[in-house]
Amino acid sequence: MNIRNEIKAQIVRAGYTMQEVVDMLATEHGWSDSVSNLSAKL
């Protein structure tokens, strides 16, 4: 399994969606609020 898929799997195991993670990153760290931007970074 590649790192990208492992990170996404860990997000799901923690009970979050990608959108929830993006929302938290945007709120706490001022990141973009786009899921596609996070996916591209992975």
* Domains identified in the chain, total number: 1
Cα distances (angstroms) measured from residue 4 to each of 11, 22, 36, 37: 11, 15, 13, 13
Domain containing residue 15? 3-41
Give the model's pLDDT for residue 18.
93
Q: What angle do CA 38, 29, 14 make, to 5 degrees?
A: 60
Give the model's pLDDT for residue 25.
92
User: Which positions of the chain have pLDDT values less than 50?
Assistant: none
Q: Rounded distance, CA 19 to CA 39, Å? A: 11
Give the model's pLDDT for residue 17.
94
pTM: 0.77
